[in-house]
Structures are given as structure tokens and as C-alpha cells.
């Protein structure tokens, strides 16, 4: 499987984003948070992913953009964890919620832990 983050996997639909915030479940692994909700399959895409970094914690757009790039990269490299363990399509929103400036390695490690925690949560919900 390719480690890519193509355009059709990007979460852009306002209705899906609204659904995430109204009915979505979340898991956290400080300072990361993942909100997820099952969606209706469209175009045979198993995952839709969005990324967000709060203006509250990083006032400068340069800083927010850096952390969004890091989050997208860690997702791209570790999305196989999610794909292998999800039975139905999901929409995800990935948040960085801290003033702390973690290194790429730390964020990558936390992302793996967060994805594993999410997989466990989805499996327990399915039962």
C-alpha cells in the first residue's frame, strides 16, 4: 500500500464536518485529539481526514501551518494502522491542542498511540 494523502481523502465537506462535531466520538493522547464518525461510503474511499491547529495556541499562521504539515505527514505514514482495522468508512478530524512545541518524533509516536486507541474504541463500539 502506498503512503499517500491524496485529494480524495481530504475532508472538505461542510456537512461531514458538521456531523463530526455534532455526533462524533473522540479519543485523545495529549496533545493530540482525534474526532471520528462513520460515514456513508462515497467513491470507494475508506477514510476522510482533516487536520486542525488552534489559533488560540499558535497565533502566527506560520506556526499553525508547520504543525498542520507535521500532522498530515504523521497521518500519511501511519494511516495503514487505521485502514487495516476499519470495517466501514470513517471521517476523522485530527487536532493539535497544546502550546507545547513537540518535536516531529514525539508527535509521530503520539499519533501511533492515538490511532491504536481509536481502533480499540471503534471495536468496543461495534460490539
Checking if the pLDDT of 108 tops 80, the result is yes
- Report pLDDT digits (tens) over 74-84: 999 999 999 99
Architecture of domain 8-126 in this structure? 2-Layer Sandwich (3.30)
C-alpha cell at 33: 485529539
DSSP three-state, residue 19: helix
pLDDT at 28 over 70: yes
pTM equals: 0.92
98 vs 113: CA distance, rounded Å: 17
Which pLDDT belongs to residue 89? 92
Distances (CA, A) of 8 to 4, 42, 44, 49, 72: 11, 10, 10, 10, 14
- Given a cut of 70, whether residue 1 has pLDDT beyond it is no
* Domain segments of the chain as ranges: 8-126
Amino acid at each position: 500500500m502506498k503512503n499517500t494523502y491524496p485529494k480524495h481523502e481530504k475532508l472538505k465537506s461542510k456537512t461531514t464536518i458538521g456531523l463530526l462535531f455534532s455526533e462524533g466520538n473522540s479519543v485523545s493522547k495529549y496533545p493530540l485529539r482525534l474526532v471520528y464518525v462513520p460515514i456513508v461510503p462515497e467513491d470507494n474511499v475508506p477514510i476522510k481526514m482533516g487536520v486542525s491547529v488552534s489559533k488560540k495556541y499558535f497565533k502566527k499562521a506560520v506556526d499553525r501551518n508547520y504543525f498542520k504539515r507535521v500532522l498530515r505527514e504523521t497521518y500519511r505514514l501511519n494511516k495503514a494502522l487505521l485502514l487495516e482495522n476499519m470495517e466501514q468508512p470513517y471521517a476523522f478530524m485530527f487536532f493539535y491542542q497544546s502550546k507545547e512545541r513537540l518535536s516531529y518524533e514525539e508527535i509521530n509516536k503520539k499519533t501511533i498511540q492515538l490511532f491504536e486507541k481509536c481502533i480499540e474504541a471503534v471495536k468496543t463500539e461495534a460490539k
